[in-house]
A and B are shown apart, each in its own frame.
Chain A
Amino acid sequence: MLATFNLIHGAKYFKMDSLLRDAKIGRVVLIAIFLACIPRDIFTFAQTTDVTLTGGTSEPSQSPPLSGATTNVRATSGAASSSLSPTAAQTTEATPTESTQLEFNTDLGPCICDLTANGCDVNCCCDEDCSDDDRATFSECLDQNYLVDTNVCLQSSVVFRNNSPDVVQVSDPSLFCVSRDNYVDRNYYTIPDSVQTAEEFEALSTTYASYSFEALVTTNASYEYADFYKSGDPMYTIYETLSLGVLGLPQSSISSECEDSNPAAFLFDETSSCIRTVSDLASQCGMLPSLSASTYMDGFKLVSTPKFLQENPPPEPRLVNVTTESPQSTTQSTSQVTQNSTTSNTTQEPNTSPTGGTIPDENVLYYDDPRLISMETLQPLCQILFGVEAECEFPADSVPFPTYNETEESCDNVVLKVKYSITHNATDGIMAASVQVTLGSITSSQLPLAQTFEVSFEKVDAPEDTFRRSGSPGYVIGEPLLAGTRVELEDGTKLAISLRDDRNNWLTVVKSSSDGTCLTDADSRIPVVFGMDMRTGCIVEVSFSEISDICELIQEQILTALKGPLPDDYYVAMFGDSSVEVVGDWVQVLQEEVSGTPTSSVKGTCNNMVTGVHIEVIYANVGSLQNPQPKILGVKYNYADGKILSYQCSGPFCQDTSRSFTQRFEITSSVTFIDASTQPAAVIAERPSWESKLPNDFLYPFTGTST
């Protein structure tokens, strides 16, 4: 019946009684069918696009032409309105022990905007507390917050409210919309019982609960100690207060600021660099624990193996008065200490050895257990200049605290570097540990302070001559190229390669200082690492007056910067693990002769100046395709062709008064890695001959091979 409604598209709001007067005759027939079909209490319905809103509202006295398409016409059917609020009546009459019985298949919220009891809610047209005059002031009706079911042709939930405004919006019903719903239950929720027991609650929760903000249970079971450290585990420390911690390796995380709670990982050699912000050096110099060497070496011991903690759970953190307690009253003292443990942890009281008591304290015994490894302090290093370090004058066991030097306005004895060396023996855990700090003086211009932390591990019976390879056998990406000079062994019969100890100083390129000039000292160069194309450089400054006179000197200076300490017979290893004794595994670095000598024909210019070097490393993958091993085939230093360095005058720098102005020339140094791998040549087997089980001429017309 209502399916005819589907034919109407582009609905507009419309009022019924005025429609009958204004609409076209053809429409009226259609509407007459409607009126016969729809229930009595429908006030409104949708209409086609060709009937406009204003055309429909021609009787302002009964239905004012509201743009919001609302009117103050209300239903007078008292029966319907009373049936809509049975729950409210029950709720008010119910005793506290009884609960409201909800009716099945009923819309429970007939007027959801009626929030003020005994008062009129603004724009709530269905509020019975509102008078008709109130409603006339409403600009819109808020009481239709229904989810519109787009599958239904006529939204019955909206239409069949008899105290709702007499408009309805039908949103372009589709061809296959639901015109009559004969399964009413489909449109209503089932009414669940309230939960009485925890089991019921749990059952509902597990069935329906999804992800929530409930705190995650971390799998870090720090209260369960393993039998031994595995690689990557944090190493436990015991402080003098007997509080438990882990050996920290400060590291930068979000910013470059040091995060002290980052643990060092067992068996993983690591170096980290981060910064300490010091706002006022003079006042904070002696105050900040992060600047003091003792923070990193005193007051704690390393737990050799977690099995120790498993067998000997650490006693409660000791207090000063705990030492006077007798052993018999341990339980009592424990409970007392538990109450005070938080204060003892935070107060950071220094070691309180038993002064008066003659009975040795069990906590002291615990701290003195040989399985707790104390940090051996190596002779600290002192930074004399930037990059230059020497052993300090004071003994290792009395490392001074940072002190502020008023005269030089510097903070002395500040920790610049901490180096932990830990000796282990596999499952036996840590056997020994040592720490070496590097101290230095900083001024406020050197803030924020950059600190370096290093932890390295060594097996207890490791041979002295361990050597870190750059690959096995093929080079690993990012590892420095092995390079050294060829020397004759002492007996004079055999040749070998001599490598420098510092692996970052084998094959190097120049580095620029922060003001751009060339850093010429050997330690400030950048290592050439395998696989990384590099480009570095620096700036040589020359002035107009001197440029033509000292061309050769400038050239020498440039070449020193480019080559560094590169001898003429320099050898690079083919593989990352080439033996220094097998000279045949090393290829000589090919160096082009620098062509020509610098000359000067015109004042202000230098001809034939070499200002760059390009290092080409040719390598090829060898071995299995699945596991290619790069092998270096050759290394060549290409010096750039001689350029003319000319002092170019432009702008204000050419005036006589600025003769001393220096011009800056860029010197470049670049490295490129060339992959010369040849793909394996495919050998294709001979095509198999066709062995026929049929007579040879069976397919004679097609094959043409008859006997």
Chain B
Amino acid sequence: MAVIELYNHPVLLRYRASICTKGTIFIIIVFLLTIIPPFFLAYRSEGFWIREAFYREQPDVHFKHQILLVLYLNEGNSYIAWSTYPNFNLIEQNHLTIPVVKTREEDINRDGRNDKLYFSVEVPIPDSKNVQSVDMILVFDYRLYRFSTFHMESLAYIHHTSFASGAQFIAEGDLKLHLKQPLAHKGTDSRYNVPVVDSDSVFAADYTFSTIFNNYISRNATTSFVCDYPIWKTGRGAGQPFVIQGSVGYTEELIMYVPGFWQTIKMGWIQYLAVLIIFIFIMEKVKKFVFENQIITTIIERPIPTKNHVM
């Protein structure tokens, strides 16, 4: 008559020893070897503590309606300058020409954040003069919310130089964020919410492009106007203004930030655990081998008396 297995259960063997024996020391060493090497292994294979992470966010940008404009003309060193800063206009009153500026910010997808700035600057220019170069600064208010509340004043530098006398300059581009260091994961960061152009100054040096850019570029977070397709149209008719027009897109940005404590711990723990399981498995085999074969002598405590044991 065939015998079938009806039920099974493991038998728990207990190996006992007093504290100051080789067995106890062995178990302590094995325990330490189980938990410590996985940490080193996980750490040495790089990327254990995540130092930076990325997220995407569309910035909340508002054009501050501040413009600084310089047009270089073909006659000698003559130029035309204009800005929305009264002190600068007073300094440059001999070169001042007041343009017609039209701007419009549009929230195309109506999600509450502006998506694009359209601008058009028409500069009346005498027929005898011709424009060879455009330098223009637009000032923006730039905010990010998702991790740290980041707030700064930034600029877009729109410029073009051509050998041919221009009638129109068309620049369609995007405002791009440049981070030299990651942002924090929480808190408020308004380190750079300082004016790009010091409009209170009465000194000409504070309005030069070199001063403005020198101060601006020393920041860790800046924006720039990226326009890969500038168009310079030639042939300005008599009595017609020089026109600068285009758009500045506020696109979604990939932003680098320093992850917070719990995010770092969580990622580290996952990596540690993955290696630890392998070590536990190996060390269990080692312990079983050592104790089963009584390489280190211990007292074996069997759960069931031998006499009752039925084979």
Question: Measured between alpha carbons, how far is A533 from B84 in the docked complex, in Å?
Answer: 14
For A446, the chain B residues whose CB sits under 8 A away are 127, 238-239
Q: Is B51 an interface residue (CB 8 A)?
A: no
Are B127 and A450 neighbours in the complex by a CB distance under 8 Å? no
With A256-B233, A515-B126: A533-B103 Cβ-Cβ less than 8 Å: yes
- A679 vs chain B, min Cβ distance (A): 9
Most buried by A among B234, B238, B241: B238
With A256-B167, A535-B101, A666-B89: A277-B235 Cβ-Cβ less than 8 Å: yes
Q: Is B226 an interface residue (CB 8 A)?
A: no
For B67, the chain A residues whose CB sits under 8 A away are 535
Interface of A is mostly: strand
Q: Is A513 an interface residue (CB 8 A)?
A: yes
For A445, the chain B residues whose CB sits under 8 A away are 127-128, 238
- A583 vs chain B, min Cβ distance (A): 30
Chain B: number of interface residues, binned into ranges = 35 or more
For B236, the chain A residues whose CB sits under 8 A away are 256, 275, 448
Are A450 and B233 neighbours in the complex by a CB distance under 8 Å? no
Question: Measured between alpha carbons, how far is A539 from B90 in the docked complex, in Å?
Answer: 11
Question: Measured between alpha carbons, how far is A526 from B121 in the docked complex, in Å?
Answer: 13
Q: Mark A658-670, 1 if CB is under 8 A from B, else 0.
A: 0000011010100
- B123 vs chain A, min Cβ distance (A): 9
B3-11, B91-99, B144-152, B282-290 - the one binding chain A? B91-99
In the complex, residue of chain B having the shortest beta-carbon distance to the beta carbon of A663: B93
For A664, the chain B residues whose CB sits under 8 A away are 93-94, 96
Q: Is A427 an interface residue (CB 8 A)?
A: no
Are B93 and A538 neighbours in the complex by a CB distance under 8 Å? no
In the complex, residue of chain A having the shortest beta-carbon distance to the beta carbon of B236: A256
For B105, the chain A residues whose CB sits under 8 A away are 533
For B110, the chain A residues whose CB sits under 8 A away are 625, 628
Are A534 and B65 neighbours in the complex by a CB distance under 8 Å? no
Q: Is B14 an interface residue (CB 8 A)?
A: no
Question: Measured between alpha carbons, how far is A163 from B100 in the docked complex, in Å?
Answer: 79
Question: Measured between alpha carbons, how far is A263 from B299 in the docked complex, in Å?
Answer: 105
Within 8 A of A (CB), among B67-107: 67, 84, 86, 89-90, 93-94, 96-105
Are B90 and A450 neighbours in the complex by a CB distance under 8 Å? no
Are A273 and B237 neighbours in the complex by a CB distance under 8 Å? yes
> When the two chains form the complex, which single residue of A449, A511, A533, A535 contacts B237, counting CB atoms closer than 8 Å?
A449
Q: Is B133 an interface residue (CB 8 A)?
A: no
Within 8 A of A (CB), among B97-133: 97-105, 110, 124-128
In the complex, residue of chain B having the shortest beta-carbon distance to the beta carbon of A445: B127
In the complex, residue of chain B having the shortest beta-carbon distance to the beta carbon of A387: B239
Q: Mark A551-595, 1 if CB is under 8 A from B, else 0.
A: 000000000000000000000000000000000000000000000
Interface of B is mostly: loop
For A255, the chain B residues whose CB sits under 8 A away are 167, 233-235
For B237, the chain A residues whose CB sits under 8 A away are 256, 273-275, 448-450
Are B235 and A534 neighbours in the complex by a CB distance under 8 Å? no
For B154, the chain A residues whose CB sits under 8 A away are none
Are A512 and B103 neighbours in the complex by a CB distance under 8 Å? no
For B84, the chain A residues whose CB sits under 8 A away are 535
Q: Is B168 an interface residue (CB 8 A)?
A: yes
> When the two chains form the complex, which single residue of A449, A532, A538 contacts B98, counting CB atoms closer than 8 Å?
A538
Q: Is B181 an interface residue (CB 8 A)?
A: no
> When the two chains form the complex, which single residue of B101, B239, B241 contacts A386, counting CB atoms closer than 8 Å?
B239
Are B233 and A254 neighbours in the complex by a CB distance under 8 Å? yes
With A514-B125, A533-B103, A535-B84: A256-B234 Cβ-Cβ less than 8 Å: yes
In the complex, residue of chain A having the shortest beta-carbon distance to the beta carbon of B97: A516
In the complex, residue of chain A having the shortest beta-carbon distance to the beta carbon of B118: A532
Q: Is B240 an interface residue (CB 8 A)?
A: yes
Are A526 and B239 neighbours in the complex by a CB distance under 8 Å? no
For A531, the chain B residues whose CB sits under 8 A away are 104
Are A533 and B98 neighbours in the complex by a CB distance under 8 Å? no
> When the two chains form the complex, which single residue of B102, B125, B240 contacts A534, counting CB atoms closer than 8 Å?
B102
For B127, the chain A residues whose CB sits under 8 A away are 445-446, 514
Are A536 and B235 neighbours in the complex by a CB distance under 8 Å? no
Question: Measured between alpha carbons, how far is A252 from B167 in the docked complex, in Å?
Answer: 11
- B114 vs chain A, min Cβ distance (A): 11
> When the two chains form the complex, which single residue of B65, B96, B101, B126 contacts A666, counting CB atoms closer than 8 Å?
B96
Are B235 and A447 neighbours in the complex by a CB distance under 8 Å? no
Most buried by A among B94, B128, B234: B234
For A663, the chain B residues whose CB sits under 8 A away are 93
For A256, the chain B residues whose CB sits under 8 A away are 167-168, 233-237, 240
Q: Is A38 an interface residue (CB 8 A)?
A: no
With A532-B102, A539-B96: A514-B126 Cβ-Cβ less than 8 Å: yes
- A371 vs chain B, min Cβ distance (A): 38
Question: Measured between alpha carbons, how far is A15 from B84 in the docked complex, in Å?
Answer: 77
- A651 vs chain B, min Cβ distance (A): 10
Are B98 and A512 neighbours in the complex by a CB distance under 8 Å? yes
Question: Measured between alpha carbons, how far is A533 from B168 in the docked complex, in Å?
Answer: 21
Q: Is A477 an interface residue (CB 8 A)?
A: yes
Are A447 and B167 neighbours in the complex by a CB distance under 8 Å? no
- A469 vs chain B, min Cβ distance (A): 20
For A537, the chain B residues whose CB sits under 8 A away are 98
Q: Is A479 an interface residue (CB 8 A)?
A: no
For B125, the chain A residues whose CB sits under 8 A away are 514
Q: Is A227 an interface residue (CB 8 A)?
A: no
For B97, the chain A residues whose CB sits under 8 A away are 512, 514, 516
Most buried by B among A257, A450, A537: A537
Are A252 and B233 neighbours in the complex by a CB distance under 8 Å? yes
In the complex, residue of chain B having the shortest beta-carbon distance to the beta carbon of A533: B103
Question: Measured between alpha carbons, how far is A180 from B65 in the docked complex, in Å?
Answer: 72
- A664 vs chain B, min Cβ distance (A): 5
Question: Measured between alpha carbons, how far is A275 from B240 in the docked complex, in Å?
Answer: 10
With A526-B100, A532-B102, A648-B90: A513-B238 Cβ-Cβ less than 8 Å: no
Most buried by A among B96, B98, B127: B98
In the complex, residue of chain A having the shortest beta-carbon distance to the beta carbon of B238: A446
> When the two chains form the complex, which single residue of B104, B128, B238, B241 contacts A533, counting CB atoms closer than 8 Å?
B104
Q: Mark B222-244, 1 if CB is under 8 A from A, else 0.
A: 00000000000111111111000
Within 8 A of B (CB), among A582-634: 625, 628
Question: Measured between alpha carbons, how far is A663 from B91 in the docked complex, in Å?
Answer: 11
For B235, the chain A residues whose CB sits under 8 A away are 252, 255-257, 275, 277, 448
Question: Measured between alpha carbons, how far is A647 from B132 in the docked complex, in Å?
Answer: 33
Within 8 A of A (CB), among B41-57: none
With A449-B237, A450-B238: A536-B100 Cβ-Cβ less than 8 Å: yes
In addition to A256-B236, A625-B110, A664-B94, 13 A-B residue pairs with Cβ atoms within 8 Å of each other are A256-B235, A257-B235, A442-B238, A448-B237, A449-B237, A516-B96, A531-B104, A534-B101, A536-B101, A663-B93, A666-B86, A666-B89, A666-B98
- CB-defined A-B contacts under 8 Å, sample of 21: A254-B233, A255-B234, A273-B237, A275-B237, A445-B127, A446-B238, A450-B237, A450-B239, A511-B100, A514-B125, A514-B126, A516-B124, A532-B102, A534-B102, A535-B101, A536-B98, A536-B101, A537-B98, A664-B96, A666-B89, A672-B65
What is A's interface to B at a CB cutoff of 8 Å?
Answer: 252, 254-257, 273-275, 277, 386, 442, 445-450, 477, 511-516, 526, 529, 531-539, 625, 628, 648, 663-664, 666, 668, 672
Closest 8 CB pairs of A and B: A450-B237, A256-B235, A275-B237, A514-B124, A537-B98, A255-B235, A535-B101, A446-B238
